[in-house]
Amino acid sequence: MKSIVLTGIKPTGTPHIGNYVGAIKQAIEMSENSEYDNFYFIADYHSLNALKTSEELKTYTKELACTWLACGLNPEKVVFYRQSRIPETTELCWILMNVTPKGLMDRAHAYKASVQANLEKGADADDGVNMGLYNYPILMAADILLFNTKFVPVGQDQKQHVEMARDIAKYFNKKYGYTFVVPQEKIQEESATLLGLDGRKMSKSYGNQIPLFCDEGTLKKLISSIKTDSSLPTEPKSTNCVLFDYIKVFGSPEKINEMEKRFAEGISWADAKKELFEMANEYIKPMREKYNYYMEHFDEVESLLKLGEEKARVIAKETLERARKAVGVID
């Protein structure tokens, strides 16, 4: 029996190029590994803390589902589902709450960061902190434990979430007998981190991002706005810049070598941006066409998600039944 690997992404915004480079691309490549059974889910319940309206949640969930498929996720090779369509998740979350120490939740990075920010501005420590934020790690533990997950691919900054899920599984198994697979983090190699158009972190709040599937005209306009230095067209250019970082993402090895030479020779920033646009557009265009198709034919995406959810619930029901028997809710 293969080990299960589980990956989830929150639908909290329109996917941008930074999301693709930093997480989606690597996750798609991992899905091709036949050594594991791979589960991919859209963590829509987890996003409730970050979104303000129901329309945002519907829109971003749709966009994320289409993005996964457009970027190459194969639903025939993985289990692809929405968290909210697996009701066993929230029932298990409640069961797990009853073995999880409050002290463990007090140490969660997101909660501690909120408390620290409140104290620094002279507010009450728990100002603006709801129970969704506070119990976020327990819901994540339910996501993981429900599917007998062995490995959870995360970056170093997300390691704590898997550690907490592991602790919660151990607390439960110690009290009620072995019930849950104890998960392990699978630390991913550091992905390239693309900065925004202005050289700051790529973020919706800064308005400096490039939507992954924007149209060609918008892509060209945004690339033209990438911040560069004031060197003259004939002067050599440093490759240690945001623009060249994008070239390294979208260019072939041969093209990257060519652009390194042209930077040294003094290519103009306008010409460099033109070259980047052509590289990026060629790279993204096939995915953009698939994305637009799926957005216009979402009934097909819905069908694929429902098939994944049916597969997921087979395992979820078995795991929840074990947990219910363990705590004495059923014989």
Q: Where are the domains of the chain?
A: 4-193+298-327, 213-292
Per CATH, which fold does 4-193+298-327 belong to? Rossmann fold (3.40.50)
pLDDT for the residue 8: 94
Given a cut of 90, is residue 82 above it in pLDDT? yes
**Residue 174 a catalytic site member:** no
**What pLDDT shows up at residue 155?**
79
- Give the mean model confidence (pLDDT) for residues 25-31: 88
- Asked if 186 is an active-site residue, the reply is no
For residue 141, what pLDDT is reported?
Answer: 98
Q: What is the mean pLDDT of residues 76-94?
A: 97
- pLDDT tens across 29-38, in order? 888 888 999 9
Q: How much of the chain exceeds pLDDT 70, in percent?
A: 99
Q: Is 192 left (phi over 0), alpha (psi -120 to 50) or beta?
A: beta
Q: Which of 52, 102, 121, 261 is catalytic?
A: 121
Q: What is the mean pLDDT of residues 17-39?
A: 89
CA dist 326 and 331 (Å) reads 9
Residue environment code for 199-223, b if the CB has 16+ CB neighbours within 10 A, otherwise e: eeebeeeeebbbbbbbeeeebbebb
- Cα 276 to Cα 125, 270, 280: the distances in Å are 47, 10, 6
CA angle at 247 for the pair 243 and 248, rounded to the nearest 5°? 120
Percent of the chain with pLDDT over 90: 84
Q: Residue 117 has what pLDDT?
A: 95
Q: What is the mean pLDDT of residues 289-311?
A: 98
Question: Stretch 28-49: mean pLDDT, rounded?
Answer: 92
Mean pLDDT in the chain?
A: 94
Active-site residue, selected from the candidate residues 58, 77, 204, 285 = 204
Indicate if the pLDDT at residue 191 is higher than 70: no
pLDDT over 90 (residue 207): no
Q: What local confidence, expressed as pLDDT, does residue 190 receive?
A: 64
Residue 293: the pLDDT is 98
Please tell me the predicted confidence (pLDDT) of residue 222: 96
**Which whole number is the average pLDDT over 68-87?**
97
pLDDT at 213: 97
Name the catalytic one among 62, 159, 201, 255: 201
Which of the four pLDDT bands, split at 50, 70 and 90, describes residue 23? Answer: confident
Report pLDDT digits (tens) over 98-152: 999 999 999 999 999 999 999 999 999 999 999 999 999 999 999 999 999 999 9
Amino acid identity for residue 164 in this structure: M
**pLDDT grade for 6, boundaries at 50, 70 and 90:** very high
d(CA 45, CA 287) in angstroms, rounded, equals 27
Respond yes or no: is residue 201 known to be catalytic: yes
| CA–CA distance, 249 with 230 (Å, rounded to integer) | 24
Per-residue pLDDT reduced to its tens digit, 238-281: 999 999 999 999 999 999 999 999 999 999 999 999 999 999 99
Domain range 213-292, CATH architecture: Orthogonal Bundle (1.10)
Taking residue 134's Cβ as centre, other Cβ atoms within 10 Å add up to 17
pLDDT tens per residue across span 150-188:
999 987 778 999 999 999 999 999 999 999 999 999 887
Q: Read off the pLDDT band of 315 (50, 70, 90).
A: very high
Distance CA 182, CA 174 (A): 12
pLDDT at 48 over 70: yes
pLDDT band at 80 (very low <50, low <70, confident <90, very high): very high
